[in-house]
Structure 1
Amino acid sequence: MTITDIRDAILTGETAEVGALPVPEAYRGVTVHADEVAMFDGIPSRDKDPRKSLHVDEVPTPEPGPGEALIAVMASAINYNTVWTSIFEPIPTFKFLQRYGRLSPLAKRHDQPYHVVGSDAAGVVLRTGPGVHRWQPGDEIVAHCLNVELEGPDGHNDTMLDSDQRIWGFETNFGGLAELALVKANQLMPKPDHLTWEEAACPGLVNSTAYRQLVTTNGANLKQGDVVLIWGASGGLGSYATQFALNGGAIPVCVVSSPEKAAIVRRMGVELVIDRTAEGYRFWRDENTQDPKEWQRFGARIRELTGGEDPDIVFEHPGRETFGASVYAARKGGTIVTCASTSGYLHQYDNRYLWMNLKRIIGSHFANYRESWEANRLIAKGLIHPTLSKTYPMTETGQAALDVHRNAHQGKVGVLCLAPEEGLGVRDAEKRSKHIDRINLFRGA
């Protein structure tokens, strides 16, 4: 019996039989190697090529321990943390694995000279460890990426505050860009039954992140009528933030970088769009000097679109390149909520615009267990839709990561793992037909 037998049982709909099949001793996964962490030394970040560092290797299958599950991964997706991992920035992820490995004998398994990456997955439960009762072999699932121990008190009100909080597949091993993956059972959520495997895999990290960052009281606490400035509105994070803003009765002002991306957000229902490339915004005069006049021109453009209103909320994730403009543009008493730094993590801004205008900066990181479940529920009900634009086979994960690294993509980029082709895994065709236009909105973009 091989991994092919497991795949075939899933493809024929015999998922209940999966638990009776032997688990293979090894499986294929997308990895980075500890002995290659210096391969890009001296090369600018933008020129580092994930195709050189991401490998498809056969690795030993881990045994699920207490509270864990082994899953067969039908499809996964690329997130920016996979890009960071592949270019070994800001630090090689092997430092995360070493730190995790010191936590307990069970965690020691993660400290390997290879790192199986990936923080999204849609698939089927194969095995569960002791103490797992909610999930059974054969259950169709998606996995969110919050890994916590919950042995200390800090995370009991908000699991993101747990002292041992990690992101699965980035700060842990055995991630989702693989044929099999090891997760904690409380990462599992029901797969939306109207979506294909690749569609179901792509919302996990970004959808939950945008939900906490924009909607909940842990983030910006969006309300009806709020003007929301959304950077990268057609990208992985921004495409979900835009949906939440529209669904919540807010007024999104979407910033994009091309006419094609502007067209996509307009098709989503957005009326106020800024093509930052076409309008020539250059927030930095040089590597070390920002241009406040460009902030002012940008703020004036926002007010022109909104009828004189500044943003109540700025949805930040580019980081260094845009943060000064974001702090300037937010309204008096407004909120800048940030979850990432894809253009650089050393932010600079003029603090006078923050303190004298009583603005707030909120740091937001992924989502807690409850927020992840709520965000997935919205996907399952067809209220929020996947923004999958393109799918690659697992052997071309390096190219998929390069697309994201160079911002040459729209929405999310998917990766087929055990699924042999796109379009498989739909269980509710009637529900799908009601939402097919929205599901396909980003396809081929």
Structure 2
Amino acid sequence: MFAQVVRQDRFGDPLEAFRIEEVAVPEPGPGEVLVAVMAAGINFNNVWAARGVPIDVIAERRRKGEPWDFHIGGSDASGIVHAVGGGVESVAPGDRVVVHPGHWAPDDPWVQAGNDPMLAPSAKIWGYNTNFGSFAQFCLAQEHQILPKAPHLTWAEAAAPTLVGTTAYRMLLGWDGHRLEPGDLVLVWGGSGGLGTQAIQLAAAHGADAVAVVSDDKRGEYAVRFGAIGYLNRGDFSHWGVPPHWEEPSYGAWLKEARRFRKALSEIAGGRAPRIVFEHPGEATIPTSAFVCAPGGMVVICAGTSGYSAMVDLRYQWVLQKRLQGSHGTNDEQARAYNDLVRAKRIDPALGEVVPFHEIGRAHRDMANGIEVFGNRVALVGAPDAEAGASA
């Protein structure tokens, strides 16, 4: 099969790291499913894979005894089941499916005890920590990852949202004591992007209100189209990044700007503060997120696209009893619940840029360089065009 392959001697610029190569089609083992890929979603995790930092995913797998000296990424797929391994009963060749990214060892004692699999020692993100993701003519996944494709969606639309959508679902509905509830206010960073559009729609679907933070007014208008009650243009504020130490005179200027941001948010939300702050930029925004979060609320974060060295003023954290919660991936229950919303047409995949297979490297470089699109990026693999695949 043809695949977009990353190798260690090409780590760096994604445009150079990804190259089309011909490799053997993997054989599905027990509990595994081989899917003929129609389209593949593009996410930031394979920018990291192409760079080889913060983790060399090839070296990690080699240390664990896997033989592959290359990486085929891609954590979103739509396609047709081609073959199944032993013991697979829930899907069969010919089924039209999507793949969710939660991956773990079925014999992991933590999983067998009925605990959340994404907290298991064996938990991985498919197509990042594992090989044979969706950037190839065939991908290999575990049976429990396979979900029915929404018939009304094209292959490209169906490939767009599952990683970001299931991630957003876990962030908003996966944490005891801070699950999204009707009437909640949610502040959504990057409200016009892949994660943000899904978070906004999930909030609306559960009777909550979302305010988006975006980089310009056109993106704000796009977020409103998906259900945001308003937006904040981050270009109107200047306090991003790690703030000065609280004893330094310049801290006062940072605090003044943070308060101005909080006031603007309050005006949009009718005086409310967000009970949930939906975070993924990290270093540039965490100080503000922790500051504006409502007393007893939660800042939930799944990434650090602006950097990892975040600072939180602990006085606001402990006195106002706010929670900073990390979130990663999805379990089966959450993935199925999200996919049911997509199939019921309550969640739009927010398909943005569609690229041909040979431009997967370029699309990742654009993402790495901060060239944003509205919604989600997708690459065509087996699908002839972006309109193919809808059956209802």
TM tier, smaller: over 0.9
2:100 aligns with one of 144, 156, 163: 144
Counterparts of 2:138 and 2:350, CA distance in 1: 24
1:245 deviation in Å?
Answer: 1.1
Unaligned ranges ≥5, structure 2: none
- Alignment correspondent of 1:275: 233
Give the CA deviation at 1:153.
2.8
Residue 399 of structure 1 corresponds to 362
RMSD: 1.8
Distance in 2 between residues matched to 1:220 and 1:364, nearest whole Å = 13
**CA distance 1:146–1:269, change in 2 (3 Å):** closer
Cα offset, 1:267, TM superposition? 2.0
Match of 1:371 in 2: 334
Q: Which residue of the partner structure matches residue 165 of structure 2? A: 207
Change (3 A) 1:284 1:371: closer
> Secondary structure at the residue paired with 2:27?
coil
Q: Is 1:121 equivalent to 2:85 in the alignment? A: no
- The verdict on how the C-alpha distance between 1:296 and 1:32 changes in structure 2, with shifts beyond 3 A counting, is same
Distance in structure 2 (CA, Å) of the matches to 1:219 and 1:417: 42
Q: Runs of 5+ in structure 1 lacking a partner?
A: 1-26, 41-48, 103-107, 429-445
With over 3 angstroms needed to count, the CA separation of the structure-2 counterparts of 1:251 and 1:355, relative to structure 1, is same
The residue number in structure 2 matching 1:432 is none
Is 1:411–2:369 an aligned residue pair? Answer: no
- CA displacement at 1:404 relative to structure 2: 2.3
For residue 90 of structure 2, the aligned residue among 134, 153, 173 is 134
Alpha-carbon separation, structure 2, partners of 1:333 and 1:392 = 43
In 1, Cα distance between equivalents of 2:306 and 2:215: 14
Q: Report the 3-state secondary structure (helix = DSSP H, G, I; strand = E; otherwise coil) of the residue aligned with 2:110.
A: coil
> Which residue does 2:345 correspond to in 1?
382
TM-score by length of 1: 0.82
> Partner amino acid for 2:219?
K
Q: Distance in 1 between matches of 2:193 and 2:305?
A: 12
Maintained 8 Å contact 1:78/1:404: no
Q: Which amino acid in 1 is paired with 2:81?
A: V
Structure 1 contact 121–142 (Cα < 8 Å) conserved:
yes
Q: TM-score, normalised by structure 2?
A: 0.93
Kindly indicate whether the alpha-carbon contact (under 8 Å) linking 1:54 and 1:398 is maintained by their aligned counterparts in 2: yes
Letter in 2 for 1:66: P
3-state SS of 2:33 partner: strand
Q: 1:336 to 1:301 in 2, by over 3 A?
A: same
Q: Distance in 2 between matches of 1:320 and 1:88?
A: 21
CA pair 239-190 structure 1, distance change in 2 beyond 3 A = same
Identity percentage of aligned residues: 39
- For residues 331-387 of structure 1, the C-alpha deviation after alignment (integer angstroms, 9 at most, x for no partner) is 111111111111112221111110111001111111101110111111011011111
Paired position in structure 2 for 1:86: 50
Q: CA deviation at 1:287?
A: 9.8
Counterpart of 1:184 in structure 2 is 142
Q: 1:435 maps to what in 2?
A: none
Runs of 4+ more than 4 Å apart: 285-290
**Aligned-partner Cα distance in 1 for 2:105–2:242:** 46
State the one-letter code of the partner of 1:132: V
- The residue aligned with 2:204 is 246
- Of 34, 37, 50, which aligns to 1:73? 37
Equivalent position SS for 1:358: coil
Alignment of 1:40-55 (within 5 A): 40=12, 49-55=13-19
